[in-house]
Structure 1
């Protein structure tokens, strides 16, 4: 009798009639002979999947009745608490006698967790951010450290980072809560336009005081860096007929006034184009070509310096120069 099942992405998986690794008959949706038995099987963690040289020896069952065939030794090696003390103390001698462990995580969450433990990429399932967060939160329950597991070289890190453009604060809070520094660094690049007064108490508590302080330093450090970069006026040029020292001093004063206006409403995400738009029109007030050249050169230097500030660790996080943020 054929056995069908859904994979983790909602597709149907069909076992042959002779497949001896089918889940228990209690999962059967038909009781009379000739009625197909519908079973929910993980598409990745199948009994016949060649994930390790040994065959699976354990079944994990999610509340939505999806079966995951796994290796108890793999879970044991990844966990510091025996996978929440659920792992059996014996090994089955019969492939039909797999121990079945019921876990509280939904199949979509358990699928992410198991892919992470096995070092596999689950991007093909397009997991939601909510499921990714739940999978990270479940790691500590099963004795797995998120900080030591979610590294830049891992598929889970990449999957989480895909959500940074549209949910940077949620991702930053998650990274801060588990002290995943590299993930917080990557998410913080998308928080430059975030208004700090909009930060809720819940978000501040979630990320913790250290990462809250770092977020403030990220914003304040960038604005202070730009204010310092704006201070030097355009360089004075040699004296030539038609351009007196007083005229060059006037250019310096105009630069200072324009810089002060910028500093009044400076945002950490201000673009180089906005800087050019605010400062380059000053050249129209000075007919001297050398003054114009000096002004344009100064604007170019400023925009180049500002672009470099975006990736300069000492500016983004002066709290601890060793921690890139």
Structure 2
């Protein structure tokens, strides 16, 4: 979904040059206008220009009671009308020292007024996510990509906004990142790791169980940092170790009977160990329970002893149950 709407504005040709910028409309107008010093000879020259203004952050937005008093322009020339007080409350460096000394609305138009537009290097898609996070409102209707979500959180450091203070478990942005984790788990976990968002890292790490860590790009590992990279490796190692320990325990033998003694039961143990070795060889931290059942339950087809078949079924159920209890996410207690 587009983050901006088009506005057609009648103006003069001279107002299309790079230093002209949009100003908020008169109090009862629904369209923005352009304010500029126009030579008298051009005042009556008709013209029309189209500008793009944020659907959420526009001059008449009712996000908070005062009207917006500051204008941002994205790198792709979309305008965002925001409140200086909100920006300053969240930013520790006056938005990377880009805010003017006074709100733009305190200047008369001929001295700048809302012409005090602040050009930013972020695209509209990224800036839209960032400003929604600053105002703590959801940008889900715009369906931002994981790339835009990551870029927005990365930009917070530039603008003096601690990600830990904004990307909270209760925030809309946190939920958006988490909803993208199943499709982009590496990007989501790397984002959480890079900004030390522990709760988000824990919840996204479970989606990385199927990821082959040996293929992890070096740049991504550097972004994660040693602590969160170690936690991810420990998670995989711990699960694989737990799986091997479970598989190493064959079905318990039953008391010898007239038709099935220790020799016959040894055959089941050997068959179990062979199937278990094949499962362990797959080296999958995300091994599904169905794969365990598919590999072990068919061993019962080779058994003529009902007691052995029963012990096999019991053991398979226990392995599946215990495997489901093994931790599936990173945890700081494993930093050893």
Q: Aligning the two structures, in what range does the TM-score lie when normalised by the shorter sequence?
A: 0.7 to 0.9
- Contact 2:189–2:200, Cα closer than 8 Å, also in 1: yes
Separation in 1 of the partners of 2:238 and 2:221? Answer: 19
Residues 136-166 of structure 1 show CA distances to partners (whole Å, capped at 9, x for unaligned) of 1110011111233212322212222333233
Q: 1:32 to 1:220 in 2, by over 3 A?
A: farther
Q: TM-score, normalised by structure 1?
A: 0.84
Q: Which residue of 1 aligns with 2:150?
A: 133
Q: Distance in 1 between matches of 2:52 and 2:204?
A: 36
Distance change in 2, residues 1:127/1:250 (3 Å) = same
Equivalent pair of 2:7/2:32 in contact (CA under 8 Å)? no
> Residues 125, 95 of structure 1: CA spacing in aligned structure 2 closer, same or farther, 3 A cutoff?
farther
| Partner of residue 84 from structure 2, selected from 72, 76, 79 | 72
Report the CA distance between 1:95 and its aligned residue.
Answer: 8.6
In the aligned structure 2, how far is the partner of 1:88 from the partner of 1:38?
A: 27
Unaligned runs of 5+ in 2: 10-24
Q: Provide the residue aligned with 2:119 in structure 1.
A: 102
Unaligned runs of 5+ in 1: 1-6, 321-325
Which residue does the alignment assign to 2:65? 53
Alpha-carbon distance in 2 for matches of 1:111, 1:14 = 22
Separation of aligned partners in 1, 2:335 and 2:141: 39
Which residue does 1:257 correspond to in 2?
274
1:113-132 residue CA offsets vs partner (Å, 9 max, x unmatched): 10000011112222222222
Change beyond 3 A, Cα 1:227–1:95: farther
In structure 2, the CA distance between the partners of 1:250 and 1:265, relative to structure 1 (3 Å rule), is: same
Counting matched residue pairs gives 312
Tell me if 1:319 matches 2:335. Answer: yes
Do residues 119 (structure 1) and 119 (structure 2) align?
no
Cα gap change, 1:31 to 1:222, in 2 (>3 Å): farther
| Matched-pair contact (CA < 8 Å) for 1:57–1:95 | no
The residue aligned with 2:21 is: none
Structure 1 pair 227/76, CA: closer, same or farther in 2 (3 Å)?
same
Please tell me whether residue 12 in structure 1 is matched to residue 6 in structure 2.
Answer: yes
Where do 1:299-318 residues align within 5 Å?
A: 299-311=316-328, 318=334
Alignment of 1:224-235 (within 5 A): 224-235=241-252
Structure 2 residue matching 1:101: 3-state secondary structure: strand
- In terms of mean alpha carbon deviation, does 91-100 or 287-296 score higher? 91-100
CA RMSD of aligned residues (A): 3.0
User: Which of residues 32, 40, 45 in structure 1 aligns to 2:52?
Assistant: 40
Distance (Å, rounded) in 2 between the aligned partners of 1:198 and 1:80: 39
Are the counterparts in 2 of residues 23 and 39 from structure 1 also a CA contact under 8 Å?
no
TM-score when scaled to structure 2?
0.82
Cα deviation code 1:47-84 (max 9, x no counterpart) = 21110022222111223222211111111111122222
Distance 2:7 2:311 in 1: 70
Task: Give the conservation status (yes or no) of the 8 Å contact 1:237–1:291.
Answer: yes
- 3-state SS, counterpart of residue 39 of structure 1: strand
CA distance in 1, matches of 2:43, 2:290: 70
